[in-house]
Structure 1
């Protein structure tokens, strides 16, 4: 029954009544509660059941990576509180690694933001060839620090929500005069991954939360080559298919 529920919710969120019409089983409510406690699904404010990123991974048949995630509490807590959003199944199905992952993000919200910004911005000066960023906002002090600290002139590519771009349009144009920077805008609902990728060596990435907030409240840091290639593939997908020139 779990597989059937995941299959349904991976395509469309649904209330309990709708699920009961599709699954005629008196144990449905018990199974739904069990799946919720296992981090596979969650209930939204509108009372619809929806699939988590962890549930989506299992629904795609990635049982080995699912087992590795649930065995590590920090990874389990991360993936059960994230949603797959607009990530294509064919890209998520390539996610087959969770080795050498470090979760960045303290429990206190203020300290968490400081830690993440310090970690991410602290890596940018090491860039020699390229910096790729997908972020829910344009942090002006951070961008200024990044450009000033660069020892070389790497290619900088940024994906930003259109609303945030409009707020920083003049600032971005000034930055583009002194740096090789290109920005594309995206609808917030399509920006399914937040990331910072430096020279295909260092990588931070995250996903939207189950509250549908941008996934920069906690990020995964990795130097795993295969994972970095996968994150870059996701950036390229958003850049070429979901984002557009201002």
Structure 2
């Protein structure tokens, strides 16, 4: 008999983790070997437990799912990453793919869709939400046709974008870079303007999606 596919589940909501575990309770082909409440704990457990698939929520404290996926790709590339999220946006899907995720499923997916997605990922295939993937494909085509590339960021603005993606505040960005908080705020506003997005969260997602930055990890 084949060994079960070993899963690690990371989500800061206990109800979500419990619901996911209950959904797979009668599926012997899967085994949840660990659960994490944030990205940092997910990294630690992956290093210790070496699961086949890490299932990550995008929005988590300390280290979000996108940053965690990127670090897993660098440190433990054999572990496959599946993002399990409520964000049905091509921005987040593009960022997830850029970070190394091979699966992207929405939390309103059916039980069978989740099981099929896990099987596809375990078999070395991609498991991406069809509707969001179609939106992303249209966006890429439109971007290529229009040639509307984002304005080039300066080296300093790339630094700032990396810190934004890591979840740092304007004050913390200023401290990191040795500049005044007001100057950091001005850099953040310029980055948001150049990327053509509405806020710092969208700037972080867009920056990761376009491969402009890797999120700066917070230290414990």
Q: TM-score, normalised by structure 2?
A: 0.29
Q: Which has the higher helix share?
A: 2
With normalisation by structure 1, the TM-score equals 0.27
Which has more strand, going by share of residues?
1
